Chain A
Amino acid sequence: MDKVMRLASEKGVVLFSKSSCCLCYAVKILFQELGVTPTIHEIDEDPEGREMEKALMRLGCNAPIPAVFIGGKLVGSTNEVMSLHLGGGLIPLLKPYQTLC
Chain B
Amino acid sequence: MNSPSTQFVPSRRMGIYEPIHQIGMWGENFKSNGNPSASVIFEVDNKLENESETASHEMLAPSNKHDQEATKPIDKIQRRLAQNREAARKSRLRKKAYVQQLENSRLKLIKLEQELEQTRQQGLYMGGGLEGGHLGFSEAVNPGIAAFEMEYGHWIEEQNRQICELRNALNAHISDIELRILVDGGMSHYFELFRMKSTAAKADVFYVMSGMWKTSAERFFSWIGGFRPSELLKVLVPQLDPLTDQQILEVCNLKQSCQQAEDALSQGMEKLQETVSATVAAGQLGEGSYIPQVATAMEKLEALVSFVNQADHLRQETLQQMSRILTTRQAARGLLALGEYFQRLRALSTLWATRPREPA
Contact = CB atoms under 8 A, between A and B. Distances in A.
B277 interface: no
B254 A86 contact: yes
B191 to A, nearest CB: 14
B269 interface: yes
Interface in A3-42: 20-23, 25-27, 29-30, 33-34
A33 to B, nearest CB: 5
A22 B272 contact: yes
Query: Interface range on chain A: under 10, 10 to 19, 20 to 34, or 35 or more?
Result: 20 to 34
A26 B268 contact: yes
B310 A78 contact: yes
Interface in A49-101: 63, 78-79, 82-83, 85-88, 90-91
Contacts of A22: 268-269, 271-272, 275, 303, 307
B198 interface: no
A23 B306 contact: yes
A85 B260 contact: yes
A83 to B, nearest CB: 5
Given A79-B313, A82-B314, A26 B257 contact: no
Nearest to B259: A33
Report whether over half of chain B's contact residues are helix, strand or loop; otherwise say mixed: helix
Contacts of B253: 88
A30 B258 contact: no
Contacts of A21: 303
A26 B306 CA distance: 12
Among B271, B272, B306, B310, the most chain A Cβ lie within 10 Å of the Cβ of B271
Interface in B133-184: none
Among A27, A79, A86, the most chain B Cβ lie within 10 Å of the Cβ of A86
A83 B253 CA distance: 13
B267 A29 contact: yes
Contacts of B310: 23, 26, 78-79, 82
Nearest to A33: B260
B103 interface: no
Contacts of A85: 257, 260-261
Nearest to B260: A33
A63 B310 CA distance: 12
A22 B276 CA distance: 11
B303 A30 contact: no
B217 interface: no
A26 B273 CA distance: 13
Interface of B: 250, 253-254, 257-258, 260-261, 263-265, 267-269, 271-272, 275, 300, 303, 306-307, 310, 313-314, 317-318, 321
Given A21-B303, A82-B317, A86-B321, 4 more contacts: A22-B268, A23-B303, A63-B306, A82-B313
